[in-house]
């Protein structure tokens, strides 16, 4: 829930966390198997369900304890054992005590049927975790061979792709170019802003998957344009329109992705009231929201980011990224009409203006 907007990003950013999600059989394990061996995964820690699932070569690992191994690529690999809060806290303590090598990124593999929201809830709300770790992005694997059927039949697979910051199309050597082109068009409508990459047998450069958050850990500055990518939503609305939203046999027919822009500064109290109403009435339908706001009476922009009922504290950015000072909020929603969202904010702002004379 938003506060008064005074929060600022810390000077020393927390450890970046990425979630690896994807439907059953979509190639998460194959991708992870390659990632943990890649030199680009140095100074990273990976949390998985079981060591055996990613087929670690025991000649290439050093066991630190029953739950932690060190790969020769310099990547830590830990089992979660069902309690993410405890796993992250223990890993952080080991890092502080120098019982494990320094790491600056964590990659968490979820199960094939997992909803990313509970993991994000842990990162945002657990006191032992939220001050030390921060969500960088969500990576979703999509099976080039079976994705069309999975997206039609399983709403979990639609949600995983819809909320992702990066989409990896796996088995791209088996899917056929025409089928993959159709799949990419469908994914572009479902989630316009997420870059899509193809992978064969999990081969991909880790640098393509990470640094998806607002704050670039390399430059330690806010990169609003890269994070928000609002131009992708505008392009998608022109290129694709709403042609698929009438097909009741597709689970993604209920998903909408759009960007709401406001040229005039926004009243902060009205905005907070609007967001509380949206969360209270439609939280499950707000798959993802992120934006940059021009708040009346403030010189610096405010960044917001939320998933369903869960919102990070708003962050005041050091400066506007460019000369465009309009408020831009991107939405991915399920069964929630854009007009309902806009009308409610307009109504609350009118009330605020009336109260303030």
The answer on 94 and 178 residing in a single domain is: yes
Question: Has residue 232 been placed in a domain?
Answer: no
Q: In DSSP terms, which residues pair with 351 in a beta bridge?
A: none
The answer on 192 and 44 residing in a single domain is: yes
pLDDT in tens, the chain (357 residues): 444 333 334 445 689 999 999 988 888 889 998 898 888 899 999 998 877 777 777 666 788 888 888 887 788 988 887 788 888 999 999 999 999 999 999 999 887 666 777 888 888 778 888 889 988 999 999 999 999 998 998 888 999 999 999 999 999 888 889 999 999 999 999 999 999 999 988 899 999 999 998 887 677 788 898 899 999 988 776 565 444 444 545 668 889 999 999 999 999 999 999 999 999 999 889 999 999 999 999 999 999 998 888 888 899 999 998 899 999 999 999 999 999 999 999 898 888 888 876
The answer on 252 and 173 residing in a single domain is: no
Question: Domain tally for the chain?
Answer: 2
The answer on 273 and 136 residing in a single domain is: no
Closest CA to 37 of 73, 85, 61: 73
The answer on 94 and 19 residing in a single domain is: yes
Residue 203: CB atoms within 10 A of its CB come to: 12
Q: What is the CATH number of the domain that holds 290?
A: 3.30.1220.10
Q: What is the CATH number of the domain that holds 46?
A: 3.40.50.300
Question: Has residue 140 been placed in a domain?
Answer: yes
The answer on 308 and 192 residing in a single domain is: no
Domain boundary among 192, 216, 240: 216
Full domain range(s) for residue 350: 248-355
Question: Has residue 333 been placed in a domain?
Answer: yes
Question: Has residue 231 been placed in a domain?
Answer: no
Distance CA 182, CA 11 (A): 44
The answer on 261 and 144 residing in a single domain is: no
Provide the terminal-to-terminal Cα distance of the chain, rounded to the nearest Å. Answer: 28
Distance CA 246, CA 252 (A): 10
**Whole-model pTM above 0.75?**
yes
The answer on 134 and 49 residing in a single domain is: yes
């Amino acid at each position: 829930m938003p506060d008064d907007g005074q929060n600022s990003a810390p000077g020393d950013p927390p450890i970046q966390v990425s979630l690896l999600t994807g439907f059953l059989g979509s190639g998460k394990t194959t991708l992870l198997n390659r990632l943990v061996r890649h030199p680009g995964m140095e100074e990273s820690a990976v949390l998985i369900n079981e060591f055996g699932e990613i087929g670690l070569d025991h000649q290439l690992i050093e066991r630190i304890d029953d739950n932690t191994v060190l790969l020769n690529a310099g990547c830590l690999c830990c089992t979660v054992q069902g309690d993410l809060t405890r796993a992250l806290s223990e890993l952080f303590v080991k890092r502080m005590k120098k019982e494990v090598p320094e790491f600056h990124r964590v990659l968490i593999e979820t199960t094939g049927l997992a909803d990313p929201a509970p993991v994000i809830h842990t990162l945002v709300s657990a006191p032992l975790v939220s001050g030390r770790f921060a969500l960088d992005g969500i990576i979703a694997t999509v099976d080039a061979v079976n994705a069309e059927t999975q997206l039609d039949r399983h709403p979990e697979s639609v949600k995983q792709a819809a909320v992702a910051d990066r989409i990896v199309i796996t088995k791209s050597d088996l899917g056929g170019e025409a089928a993959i082109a159709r799949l990419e068009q469908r994914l572009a409508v479902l989630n316009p802003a997420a870059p899509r990459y193809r992978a064969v047998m999990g081969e991909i450069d880790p640098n393509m998957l990470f640094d998806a958050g607002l704050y670039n850990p390399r430059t330690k500055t806010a990169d609003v344009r890269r994070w928000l990518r609002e131009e992708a939503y505008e392009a998608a609305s022109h290129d694709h329109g709403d042609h698929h939203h009438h097909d009741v046999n597709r689970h993604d027919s209920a998903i909408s992705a759009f960007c709401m822009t406001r040229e005039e500064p926004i009243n902060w109290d009205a905005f907070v009231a609007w967001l509380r109403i949206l969360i209270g009435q439609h939280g499950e339908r707000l798959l993802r929201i992120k934006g940059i706001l021009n708040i009346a009476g403030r010189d610096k922009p405010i960044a917001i980011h939320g998933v369903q009922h869960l919102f990070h504290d708003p962050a005041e950015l050091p400066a506007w990224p460019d000369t465009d000072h309009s408020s831009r909020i991107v939405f991915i929603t399920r069964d929630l009409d854009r007009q309902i969202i806009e009308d409610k904010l307009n109504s609350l702002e009118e009330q605020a203006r009336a109260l303030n004379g």
